[in-house]
Amino acid sequence: MSFFSVTKLASTLVAPYEPTPSGNLPLSFMDRLPASRFLVDSIHVFRNGQQPAMVIRDALSKALVSYYPVAGRLVMSNQGELEVACTGDGVWFVEASADRSLEDLNHLELPLAVPKEELLPYLSPQVEKDLIVMMQVTQFTCGGFVVGMRSSHAMFDGLGAAQFVQAIADVAKGLAQPMIKPIWCREAIPSPPKLPSLRPPPSLTTHPFVTFLLDISLDHINETKSKFTKKTGKYCSTFDILTAKVWQSRARAISLKPGVDLRLGFAANARHLLHQLLPQEGGYYGNCAYPMTIAAPSEKITDSSLFEVINLIRKAKESLSTKFSKWLMGNPEEDPFKVPVDYGLLCVSDWSRVGFNEVDYGWGQPIHVGPLDDNNFIASSIFLKPPAPKQGVRLITRCVVEEQLRAFQDQMVNLV
């Protein structure tokens, strides 16, 4: 959008407000997985704020006293494993201003109508690979602002990243320290005794995925839950319903040959499975999600009822404890990272409940939050909270190419 301009006014490293411990900290096995070595890009859009860049920058500095590893750098140990050097160097922070109002830009609802590079902080790739967090606060003419965040998946999963952002907000509102005390405790995460053998990275094929957005009302979701319970006598979650619907709709739209496997992948929170190892009071902010995968012949997904597909997802979730335990014990049959990355794979992420939408720096919760995912390698569907006052779930999908979009849309019109 040529008329939209952002001026990046000041860039700096924000270090912890007080001296913090030094030395190197080991990351957990889950943190060190190659699949976690990337930056997660997201925007957090707020309706108004007074000098938000200054407030958030100062709060960030104070929050980093508790979260001092975040102010460090990712390094390789003498054993060739990723770890954190607690250098206190700080978080890269950019203050910026835009020449338009949020209303002019549809409140930056996804998919973005402006280049994401305007709203996110960037450094050279060589520098970025070692940084743990980068933030940009952009003020708009209406008084609203956007926090653009780039965070290392090697440090946080979604729940952990939201906990860190909430800590900044706690301090911004005047608390002396974050309400939730951060716990490092990476050594509590077991490492499988038989690590996966080194395999060459998969050869990835790019696909020109198109973005599709759909808001599903809470009433529609609840109606489907009620019908499912009445028919089966079982409970199903919002995640089960929407994941089944997207998976089946995509399967019918892409029309792979019978017998060809379709795969569904999603991250399942495993914190409750490690409750005897992790602190009972909570506060753990590292990776603790197990990648679940369901595989089925294409005709099983296309020809089944929606409720039958929901049951497939429910059964997979019920198997989490068994699969996770087998993986930790080094069972070679339970390597969740052996999934072929091809057009038959759909990955689902649920951002609607991780905690970003509850963050309040002192001027109210965000209008909306979302990842800026534009990959063309893996078909994806992301669940978000819709902008207030809407209730329900907003779906953002990049899972079909242009010639399949109409068929996909037609399938997604009705949830039942």
Residues taking part in catalysis? 153, 360
d(CA 92, CA 115): 20
